[in-house]
Amino acid sequence: MIRFASLWLALLAAGIARADEVHVAVAANFSAPMKEIAARFERESGHKVLATVGATGRFYAQIRNGAPFEVLLAADDETPARLEKEGSAAPGTRFTYAIGKLVLWSPQAGLVDERGDVLSQGKFAHLAIANPKLAPYGAAALETLDKLGLRERLASRLVQGDSIGQAHQFVVSGAAPLGFVALSQVTSGGQLQSGSAWVVPATLYAPLRQDAVLLAAGKDKPAALAFLRYLQGEPARLLIRAYGYAL
């Protein structure tokens, strides 16, 4: 955090904190709050946010191969730390911007019960999850099935999307009647928007601690630093909580 503050002050002192663009790689689970945060940031700062939404694992590969992202909002804390260690992110700029929550959701009212017993009952053809090799929420879904002793039994019914966004789309489109998605994708203002859901107990999966980091391409960019500072401010934090995240 000290390093992050010093970078920002150095840019201000140089007198180059002008309106600019910031290229942000955004984990799919954070797509909805990102839209609101970006709009508010643009109004207040004059900077422009260029956001790309996708799977954290794919972003890692793209960043290592030279993709021009300046900020990463990951779905985990391991990827930003790894990028920092490998020299692809600015040291001392990582921080946790959200702690995600996993939910089993169906657009069909009454299908998912409040204890998630629908999983053991098995009265469904397909269960959507994100690819656990690319998306932390997918790994959390598999961990949940492991803890429940259901992974082997349900393995043939799993349909995987590259990201949690695609897993959610599988359920919305009817390709799967239910799936493990992010709570932020199906709630607004603390209320379920439609269908039925079971909020998976946090004891069933490792914490989904989501870190942001300034990437090497953004270390001299005032807009990138300004965006990260805004993300840490109370207005952004309140909005993040409204989407069901912990902080």
- If one compares 50 and 190, the residue with the highest pLDDT of the two is 50
Alpha helix (H) ranges present in 46-163?
56-64, 78-85, 118-121, 136-148, 151-154
Tokens linked to 15: 């007198």
- Sign for the CA dihedral angle at 208, 165, 243, 35 comes to positive
Of the pLDDT bands very low, low, confident and very high (cuts 50, 70, 90), residue 16 is very low
Q: What share of the chain is helix, strand, coil (3-state, %, to 5)?
A: 45, 25, 30
Pick the CATH number of 102-199 from 1.50.10.10, 3.40.640.10, 3.30.70.360, 3.40.190.10: 3.40.190.10
Mean pLDDT for all residues in the chain: 93
Mean per-residue pLDDT for 52-59? 96
State residue 58 phi and psi, 5-degree precision. -70, -40
What's the pLDDT score for residue 202?
96
Pick the CATH number of 2-99+209-242 from 3.30.1490.100, 1.20.1440.230, 1.10.287.3510, 3.40.190.10: 3.40.190.10
Domain spans, the chain: 2-99+209-242, 102-199
Q: Is 164 assigned a ligand-binding role in the annotation?
A: yes
pTM summary value: 0.88
With pLDDT > 90 as the criterion, what percentage of the chain qualifies? 90
DSSP single-letter state for residue 96 = E
The pLDDT of residue 189 is above 90: no
Two domains, one topology: 2-99+209-242 and 102-199: yes
With pLDDT > 70 as the criterion, what percentage of the chain qualifies? 93
Distances (CA, A) of 111 to 104, 162, 179, 195: 10, 25, 11, 8
What's the pLDDT score for residue 2?
47
In our burial notation (b when 16+ CB lie closer than 10 A, e otherwise), range 208-244 reads bbbbbbbbbbbbebbbbbbbbebbeeeebeebbeebb
3-class DSSP state of 41: helix
Centroid of chain to Cα 66: 22
Rounded Cα distance, 104 and 62, in Å = 30
Are the C-beta atoms of 109 and 195 separated by less than 8 Å? Answer: yes
Q: Is 56 assigned a ligand-binding role in the annotation?
A: yes
Kindly give, in sequence order, each residue whose CB lies less than 8 Å from that of residue 187, ignoring residues fewer than 6 positions away.
193, 243, 244
Of the pLDDT bands very low, low, confident and very high (cuts 50, 70, 90), residue 14 is very low
Rounded Cα distance, 215 and 193, in Å = 35
Tokens linked to 95: 């921080």
What's the pLDDT score for residue 188?
82
The pLDDT of residue 15 is above 50: no
Specify burial of residue 123 (Cβ count, 10 A radius: 0-12, 13-18, 19+).
exposed
- Sign for the CA dihedral angle at 48, 54, 55, 61 comes to negative
